[in-house]
Structure 1
Amino acid sequence: MSPAPPHDDADPSSGAGPLGDGPLRLDERLIAALDTIGHEFQADFFARALIGRDDDVGLLGDLAHALTRVGRHEEGLEIDRRVVELAPEDPTAHYNLACSLSLTGSHEEALAELTRAVDLGFSDHALARTDPDLEAVRNDPRFGELFGGA
């Protein structure tokens, strides 16, 4: 099973979809709170699903993604490192690890993982240029060499 896809969450406060249209539009703070609760639930669910299956790359990737979405970046980083350990040739695993490294302040290592992801075939340059998880490394010239301008 492959790791979770790269982060591509829609902005829940954008006004799109069933929570944001018409006269029943929910307050943006409520939408954000519901989103957080959903990701906390997912983190708990995936952690429980991994009991006895700690080498399931897909579940691990899903867990790392959920942890990251609720700001538990160090825990997400630990899980992303495990995913790369289990799937060292998977470009998405390296991309997600780079995102976690960027979020935790390990910018040099994040850029190295982005380079590895590209070397392995990661090609979603548009995602990399807009992914908020990579904001901290986006202005580095090496980022531009990998993905073009922001």
Structure 2
Amino acid sequence: MGIEGLIELGETNRAREWISRALALEPDDPTVQYNVACGLTKLGEVEWALDLLEHSLRNAPPEMISWVKHDADLDSLRNHPRYQEILELIEQT
């Protein structure tokens, strides 16, 4: 079971363990970082999620830019100033 399933079941401690394992196994994988950022958003860890999101986009595949703009998992970040800055950086590249 992935992070989102654990969160939906209310298993937030297990979700946090999943996050730790995922980042330990693949610390530089932009897709892992992106997925963890989505989960962190649902856990209310906004700053950490934004940190990972910003970091993931440095080496992201092109399709990830569309994910950032349209993924409903990130809806709660859309009005955050840092999210807006991240979008501006994406559009400049």
**Both proteins in one fold, TM over 0.5:** yes
Q: CA deviation at 1:85?
A: 0.9
Query: 2:65 aligns to what?
Result: 125
TM-score between both structures, scaled by the size of structure 2: 0.74
What is the total number of aligned residue pairs between the two structures?
86
**More relative contact order, 1 or 2 (CA 8 Å, 6+ apart):** 2
Partner of residue 100 from structure 1, selected from 19, 24, 39: 39
Contact 2:57 2:65 in 1 (8 A): no
- Alignment pair present for 1:143 and 2:86: no
In structure 1, give the amino acid aligned to 2:74: L
Q: Which residues of structure 1 form unaligned runs of 5+?
A: 1-42, 44-62
Cα RMSD for the two superposed structures? 2.1
Q: Which residues of structure 2 form unaligned runs of 5+?
A: 89-93
- Alignment pair present for 1:115 and 2:77: no
Give the structure with the larger helix fraction: 2
Deviations 1:82-133 (A, max 9, x none): 1111111100111111111111111111100101101232542221122122
Matched-pair identity in %: 30
